[in-house]
Amino acid sequence: MTGRRGLLSIAPVLVAVAAALAPSVAGAHRLNVFAYLEGSEVKVEAYFSDGAKAKRSDLKVYDADDTLLIKNKTDARGEFAFGLPATEGDLLIVVTAGEEHVGKYTLKAEEFEGVAGVEYPGIAEAEGESGGEAPGDIGKALARIEATLRTMQRQLAELRKPRAGVSLESVMAGIGFIVGLTGVAMFFMARHATRK
């Protein structure tokens, strides 16, 4: 029974040592892969859960039939961009860093449907129909709209990007789970002991 008091004193110390050494709650052990559409280009970002980029890591893109479309490496910022391939269905993007870390992202078909191969025929038609009546303005306006849309796509992508790091809630949940499990185990062990 002397053990119990000693343990109660050691428990917070051990956890405190671990916590004190953690100025930033982060770990390098989840590889996040995120992809979004910008114009007709797919941009891929790969980063670890502590925010470090997955630099020069193997990247593969598969279509819905598991056919390998692209095999390449991320750049020094852990990014990669490719033109939207002419396929239907979801695109699966797989990044492998340091062999044991694999991250995946599925770019849903509905996100890029109708974007691939669009040549903006609207501009040419508008220019032809308007008969030289300020065609440049329409072209400029369209360019401006497109630029705005790109910015919005980027901002939306930023919002949807999985956050790097680990939330305090999940840390507390894990510790609580372990404490509870220990209690349950002790309850059954103690009952077993008293029955004997």
Partner 1 sequence: MHISEGALSAPVLAAGAVLTVAGTAVGLRGLDAEKMPRVGVMAATFFVASLVHVPIGPSSEHLILNGLAGLVLGWAVFPALLVALFLQAVLFQFGGLTTLGVNTFTMAFPGLLCYLLFGRLVNRGPAVSAAAAFGTGALAVLLSGVLVAVALFLTGKAFTGAAATIVVAHVPVMVAEGVLCVLCVGFLKKVKPGMLPRMRTQEVSDDG
Interaction site with partner 1 (CB under 8 A): 2-4, 6-7, 9-11, 13-15, 17-19, 21-22, 24-31, 49-50, 52, 96, 98-104, 166, 170-171, 173-175, 177-179, 181-182, 185-186, 189-190, 193
Q: How far apart are CA 89 and CA 112, in angstroms?
A: 10
Residue 123 or 166: the one with the smaller Cβ distance to partner 1 is: 166
- Give least dist CB 144 to partner 1, A: 41
Residue with tokens 């369209």: 142
Residue 123 or 164: the one with the smaller Cβ distance to partner 1 is: 164
- Give least dist CB 36 to partner 1, A: 20
Of residues 67, 77, 64, 70, the one with CA closest to residue 42: 70
Please list the helix, strand and coil fractions of the chain in percent, rounded to the nearest 5, in that order: 45, 25, 30
- Give least dist CB 67 to partner 1, A: 18
Dmax over CA atoms of the chain, in Å, equals: 99
- Number of neighbours of residue 74 by Cβ within 10 angstroms: 22
Residue 47 or 112: the one with the smaller Cβ distance to partner 1 is: 47
Q: How far apart are CA 142 and CA 148, in angstroms?
A: 10
- Give least dist CB 111 to partner 1, A: 23
